[in-house]
């Protein structure tokens, strides 16, 4: 097994998901200081208009209330899948170009990762205890207490305005909610002003968020995540034991925040 390459790619995968998917962002430890983004206290001070922030927050919060289909499109990562916050189950497939295709299954505290199209990688599913994958667990895809990632997104908003019926634009500051995240720390001040636009449907649900990650690196462009098929059943089957092996410790550590 090419553990070094697998670990490096694992870090890139988590970073891309954390920055590109509203519903796949990491969450801070439950013991975070009062007033921090991960606490139960008030959200950080923001210049965002109260009405626009409240409307967008309510729309994003619906991601925590029922199952949803997600699709991500960008210049470096494309993916799709389903997530059910109520049952803590999910199935995501992500294509990272030459780095191969990654499929992630979430079943409660168990996460399974399978990689295809990358030379030297194991052919079996890699099992990980999701509670050991950093502060968020769930391979950073379904944060404890905020499985849809709604609170993370709203706490990251430093500015937002309503640009039309169901349309918003604003700026995200990832350092507000993920100051200890390795990927965010590596970005420095670039992570403090990331433009985004969002759309809400006629039922008040967030259905699209487009994040201009080009400000993080010119090769990234815009990452667009769409949400649909709300309430559809999500069925995830555990891989057979004969087709499963434990993930290397290096990979588990690389997934941590």
Q: What is the pLDDT of residues 239-250, one digit of tens each?
A: 999 999 998 877
Q: What is the token pair recorded at 106?
A: 């979430």
- Please say whether the beta carbons of 230 and 205 come within 8 A: yes
Arithmetic mean of pLDDT, 42-58: 68
**What is the 3-state secondary structure of 34-91?**
CCCCCCCCCCCCCCCCHHHHHHHHHHHHHHHCCCEEEEEECCCCEEEEEEECCCCEEE
User: By C-alpha distance, which of 130, 151, 154 is closest to 141?
Assistant: 130
Per-residue pLDDT reduced to its tens digit, 162-193: 999 999 999 999 888 777 777 777 778 888 99
Per-residue pLDDT reduced to its tens digit, 77-136: 888 999 998 888 999 898 887 778 889 899 988 989 998 887 777 889 999 887 776 554
User: What's the pLDDT at 34?
Assistant: 32
Spatial distance between the Cα atoms of 64 and 66, rounded to a whole number of angstroms: 6
Name all domains of the chain by residue range, CATH numbers in brackets: 3-28+44-254 (2.50.20.20)
Spatial distance between the Cα atoms of 190 and 174, rounded to a whole number of angstroms: 9
Per-residue pLDDT reduced to its tens digit, 55-66: 998 998 888 888
Name beta bridge partners: 212.
Answer: 222
In this structure, the number of other CB atoms found within 10 A of the CB of residue 54 comes to 12
Spatial distance between the Cα atoms of 189 and 251, rounded to a whole number of angstroms: 27
Q: What's the distance, CA 111 to chain centroid? A: 15
């Amino acid at each position: 097994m090419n553990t070094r390459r697998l670990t490096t790619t694992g870090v890139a995968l988590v970073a891309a998901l954390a920055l590109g998917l509203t519903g796949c962002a990491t969450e801070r430890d439950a013991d975070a200081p009062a007033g921090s983004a991960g606490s139960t206290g008030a959200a950080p001070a923001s210049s965002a208009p109260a009405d626009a922030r409240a409307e967008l927050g309510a729309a994003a919060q619906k991601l925590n209330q029922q199952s949803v289909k997600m699709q991500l499109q960008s210049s470096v990562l494309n993916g799709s899948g389903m997530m059910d916050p109520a049952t803590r189950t999910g199935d995501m497939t992500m294509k990272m170009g030459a780095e191969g295709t990654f499929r992630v299954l979430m079943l409660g505290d168990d996460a399974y990762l399978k990689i295809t199209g990358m030379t030297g990688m194991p052919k079996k599913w890699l099992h990980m205890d999701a509670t050991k994958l950093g502060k968020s667990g769930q391979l950073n895809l379904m944060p404890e207490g905020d499985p849809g990632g709604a609170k993370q997104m709203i706490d990251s908003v430093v500015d937002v305005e309503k640009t039309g019926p169901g349309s918003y634009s604003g700026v995200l500051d990832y350092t507000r909610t993920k100051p200890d995240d390795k990927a965010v720390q590596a970005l420095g001040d670039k992570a403090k002003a990331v433009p985004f636009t969002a759309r809400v449907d006629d039922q008040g649900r967030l259905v699209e968020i487009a994040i201009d990650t080009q400000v993080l690196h010119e090769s990234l462009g815009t990452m667009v995540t769409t949400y649909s098929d709300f309430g559809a059943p999500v069925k995830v089957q555990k891989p057979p034991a004969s087709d499963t092996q434990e993930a290397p410790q290096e990979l588990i550590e690389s997934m941590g925040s």
